[in-house]
Amino acid sequence: ASLRSLPADVSVAPGRLEVRSGAACMAAALPPGVSVAPSSCRGLRLLPGDGLHLRLRLRGTPRAPEIVYDLKENLKPQKNCIFSCQSCGNVVVNERKFLRVLPLPSENWSALVEEWCCHPNPFARSTLRPQHDDCFLGDTFLLLNSGNQSYKSKENTRVICERCKTTLGETVSSDTIKYYVTEVIIWPSEESFSTIPRSQFIQSVVAQCLVELSSTKSTFRFTINGDDGKIYILIWLLNSDTLLVESLGSSSSQSLLTLFGDDFMPSSGPLGMWSAVKVLYQPCIKNRNKNLADVWENDFGVHPLKLPSETCLELLLTLSSSTASLPSSLQSMNSFQVRNSCC
C-alpha cells in the first residue's frame, strides 16, 4: 500500500523510530550513545509538503564528531606548517615555524584601556605587529610578518593568490600581512595536503568562530562585514550543541519518502552524525533589512566579523541552500531564516 494513504503507525524504541503504513515500513536508527525517551514523543502531525513532525527527548551524550578543519590544532608553536590557498591549493607560505602563536585582543582594546587607566593611555601610539617568528590570531584573520613574502596586488593592498587570483588577505603595513582564515588552509609540514570542499570549509570555519566568540565573550549576535565596508549578513546564534543525524534507512517500500520529504533518503551506508550550530540570519545585500542592520551596527552587544566580500556572498549562498533544504514550516522564525551549519 502506498504511504500516501493514512493512517500511519509510529512506534518509538530507545534506539530507533519506525513508521508503518500498510505493507510499507521505514526505520530511523540513532547513533551509538544516543537514545530516545519513548514517553517523550509528542506533537505528532502531518504537514502537507513537509512530512511527519514530532518532538522527542534524547538521552545520553554522543561522542563528539571530528571537526572538518581545526585551525588552532594545525597552527602550533615550534611546528613547521604550510599555508595554502584554500580555493586552489597553491602554496602561499612554505615551511614556516613560529616561536609564538598568540591571540589578539578585541578590536576595541585600546578604548578599554582608556576607561581603566587613571593616566594617559601608554599604548595610544603603539600597534600590535608580529615579529618574524610570531603569528597573531584575530577572530577571522591572522597576522604574519611578511619577511620576503610578497603577494601584494599592484593596484591596491590586497593579497592575492598568484594562481587563481583569489583575495587571500591584505597588507597591514610594510612588514605585516593579514590572511583571512576562510581563504588559507594551514597544514603541518609532515602531513599531506587534503582538499576540503569550499562550502564545507567556510561553514566549518565560521561555525567554530561563532561558537568560540559566544563562549568567550557571551555574544550571540554577529554582523558579517565585507572588506568593502558593507554588512552582508546578520547572524543570531541559537544553539551550539545541535546534532545532525543521517539515519540507516531500512525500508520495504521507498514510498515512505513522501512522508519524510526528499532529504530523508534511505541508505545502506554507515550512520552519519555531525555536530552543528543553529543560527537565525537575515541577508543585507541590495539594502535588504537596512534598518535592522543599522540598529545592529550601533549595538555594542553585536560583534562584527570581517571577511572578503566574495566570501560573504559564498556564505550567504550556503545559508540559503541550507534553509531551502529544510521543511517549509521550519525555514523561518520571527522573520529570520533558519540554518544548521556543520562544524
pLDDT of residue 246: 61
Res 262 pLDDT > 70: no
Averaged pLDDT, 215-243: 91
Which has more confidence, 208 or 254?
Answer: 208
Asked if residue 288 and residue 225 are part of one domain, the reply reads yes
Q: Are residues 181 and 304 in the same domain?
A: no
State how many domains the chain has: 3
Query: What are the phi and psi torsion angles at 123 (to 5°)?
Result: -105, 10
| Residue 205 within a domain | yes
Check: CB of residue 168 under 8 Å from CB of residue 161: yes
Same-domain status, 183 and 218:
no
Tell me whether residue 257 is in a domain: no
The CA distance from 153 to 140, in Å, is 21
In a domain, 2, yes or no: no
Number of H-type helices and E-type strands within the chain: 6, 23
Name the residue with cell 588559507.
184
Whether 78 and 47 map to the same domain: the answer is no
Asked if residue 64 belongs to a domain, the reply is no
pLDDT digits (tens, 9 = 90+) for 144-188: 998 755 545 444 588 999 999 999 999 988 889 999 999 999 999
One domain, residues 283 and 205: yes
Do residues 234 and 161 both lie within one domain?
A: no
pLDDT tens sequence across 282-305: 999 998 999 999 999 999 899 999
In this structure, the answer to whether residues 142 and 226 fall within a common structural domain is no
Name the pLDDT band for 256 (thresholds 50, 70, 90): very low
Interval 1-18 mean pLDDT: 69
Contact at 8 Å (CB) between 305 and 189? no
When mean pLDDT is compared across 82-91, 164-173, 316-325, the lowest value belongs to: 316-325
The boundaries of the domain holding residue 216 are: 199-246+272-342
Instruction: Give me the mean pLDDT over the 80-98 stretch.
Output: 93
Task: Mark residue 22 as left, alpha or beta (left: phi above 0; alpha: psi -120 to 50; beta: remaining).
Answer: left
Is residue 9's pLDDT more than 70? yes
> Are residues 136 and 49 part of one domain?
no
